Amino acid sequence: MSILKTIGIQAIGFLGTILFFVSFQCRTNKNLYRVQFLSYLFYTVHLILLGAFTGGASYIINTFRSFCLGGKWKFGKTRTMCVIICLLQVAALILTWSGWISILPVAANIAATIGGYTHNPKKIRIAGMFINSPLWIVYNVIVGSWAGVLDEVVSEGSMIISVIRYGWKNLDHKEE
């Protein structure tokens, strides 16, 4: 792969990183998911170009999840949809299996999906800080997504900043 192609692929990922960081500064879940929707589109392209097909497929599902959680479609916010999205992640795992590494993004995204479907900003951040980001960091190192590693480190920082800004107590409520 040429150096320009490598830089271009990483740049696409870095655009996703910037958007993901901005997402955790949104006060409402609705806006958080709208910004993450755009971030996931960039990451899907980035990971597929790297040949990380399980990660790319998982991000396609994350894009759909953000559409469901950030939109006005009531069924998209139900527990049934949460189960459907988790099953889609498992299907992506099976269809793109390339060894144990494939489990990492799927497990990360299932945790983030379950956290998101609690509709509780505190639980969303807990799932992100302690499960989603750590698993994605390992996956991104293995597949060579430096933008992805940076994204997860920055996301951890952004989630910490949001906890400091709003406080755990103020984030512990259900939003619809």
Are the CB atoms for 34 and 42 separated by under 8 Å?
A: no
> Does 28 map to a domain?
yes
| Mean pLDDT across the chain | 92
7-16, 21-30, 82-91, 143-152 — most confident range: 82-91
In the structure, what pLDDT confidence band is assigned to residue 176 with cuts at 50, 70 and 90? low
What is the per-residue pLDDT for 65?
93
> Does 21 map to a domain?
yes
Nearest Cα to 127, choosing from 33, 55, 75, 135? 135
What is the per-residue pLDDT for 167?
86
What is the per-residue pLDDT for 68?
92
Q: Is the pLDDT of residue 128 over 80?
A: yes
> Does 176 map to a domain?
no
> Does 91 map to a domain?
yes
What is the per-residue pLDDT for 23?
86
> Does 15 map to a domain?
yes
> Does 103 map to a domain?
yes
**27 secondary structure, DSSP code:** S
> Does 149 map to a domain?
yes
- Counting residues of the chain whose pLDDT is more than 70, the rounded percentage is 99
Domain residue limits at 100: 3-171
- Does the pTM of the predicted model rise above 0.85? yes
> Does 25 map to a domain?
yes
- State the total domains in the chain: 1
